[in-house]
Chain A
Amino acid sequence: MLRKFSNSRTLEDNIRLGVLTAFSAGMVNIASLLIFFTFTSNITGHFAVLAAEIVKGNWYQAAVVFSWIFLFFFGSFVSNLIVIHFNQRSTYLAHAMPIVLEIACLLTVGVYGQFFYTETLTETELLLSLMLFAMGLQNGLTASISNFTVKTTHLTGITTDLGILFSMFTRKEFRDNKELRGKAKLLSSICIAYITGAVISGLTYFHMQFKMFYIVSLFLVVVIFYDLYKIRIMRYISTSRNKSRTARRQQKENLAGLKERIPASENVANSW
């Protein structure tokens, strides 16, 4: 999911990354809506609200919404900054770091909400800011490493693309196009995962409240460890392959050495 970059990613890589992160985003968005009455994974509406608050002269609300939009932007900025600056050292680490940051933000929301939250407006705004920053990080990462194919925190673009794709599928030449079918599969998977996450979040909210953020973090941990696990397995396989290759090479060398010695000893025997 996180090891490969841009065009080297397969459809399956993108689907796995898209499904898990969309599920998390759906959960976070509904949790924030139910707890704080605000969406945190999509900001299109916030732009409209910002304009409306400026027109009404509600400067406090305008400032808050402005900061949320900025934090979503800044999350995406930080995410891609990490990817492009650390990619040469270790692709996996560069791709995992934004998710680690996202987990840290969401865990902070969960822990603070569960143990310290006294429902003041300042706390509410700060927790929402953390969630928007986390969603910006996630969206920036998935878009960045998938060559802008996977965006999982909002569904406006995806719904538009699906509409276009399904209209294209009315013609056989497009239906037979493997790439287009793959794209439709990816986008549909993201939509379904997002809705599933949102529904589960809505159903479990009354029992779990802020503990919901632990579950979201757990899903993101799966994203990180899935690749770490694969990397270990691949390393193990390549190390054992190298070992067996070296062993085979040594065997060959030994055999060659023996063959060289045998004719020499035969010559000695003949001379006797």
Chain B
Amino acid sequence: MKFWLIYIFVFSVGLMSFTIMVTKSSEPEMLIAGQWKELTWSYEDEQSIESSGINRQYEGSLHKVSNSEDILFHQGETWIFYPDGKLCLKSDSSERIVHWSIKGRGNILQVKYANAVTEKFILSKLDNNNLVLDFESDIQARGIANLTFEKCK
């Protein structure tokens, strides 16, 4: 009998820890929903971009960087995350609707474009006011670009 009590106690402690952690936190999908204004867009190291074979292009107000997989970067945009999985990328001159989802343990933002291009960002910071995304591409190019957003009130 004592033996079973120990088992029940250990499992209950585990379940309680899980419940406390979940109730103490906010779900990333709820936190990210809303309008975010891009503040900075920075390269970690200019040289690492050259060595990673990424080609830079400029397209209107959007700062676009593409590698062999046609992965895109953005600059000067407002990102509006809708709860139904739609993401509106707004700049002064253009607007486009793409699809967003959060994967992994709630630490990866995936953005899918209509032309089957997929971008992957690590959610390195996400709270009620700030969002920091690290671009994740090939291993050699990982973490070279970093986007900082502020929530529009």
Chain A residues near B (Cβ < 8 Å): 36-38, 49, 53, 58-68, 70, 118-121, 124-125
Contacts and interface: CB of A to CB of B under 8 A. Distances in A.
A85 to B, nearest CB: 15
27 contacts: A36-B103, A37-B108, A37-B110, A38-B105, A49-B105, A53-B105, A58-B25, A59-B21, A59-B24, A59-B25, A60-B21, A60-B27, A60-B28, A60-B106, A62-B25, A65-B105, A66-B14, A67-B18, A118-B85, A120-B29, A120-B85, A120-B101, A121-B28, A121-B102, A121-B106, A124-B104, A125-B105
B107 A61 contact: yes
B139 to A, nearest CB: 13
Q: What's the dominant secondary structure at chain B's contact region?
A: mixed
B106 A64 contact: yes
Interface of B: 14, 17-18, 21-22, 24-29, 85, 101-108, 110, 120
A120 B27 CA distance: 11
Given A37-B120, A64-B105, A64-B106, A70 B25 contact: no
A22 to B, nearest CB: 24
Contact of A37 (B14, B25, B26, B104): B104
Contacts of B26: 60
Q: In the A-B complex, list the 9 residue pairs whose CB atoms are closest, starting with the nearest.
A: A63-B21, A59-B25, A60-B25, A119-B101, A64-B105, A37-B104, A59-B24, A59-B21, A61-B105
Nearest to A63: B21
Contact of B25 (A38, A63, A120, A121): A63
B21 A38 contact: no
Contacts of B27: 60, 121
Contacts of A67: 18
A123 to B, nearest CB: 10
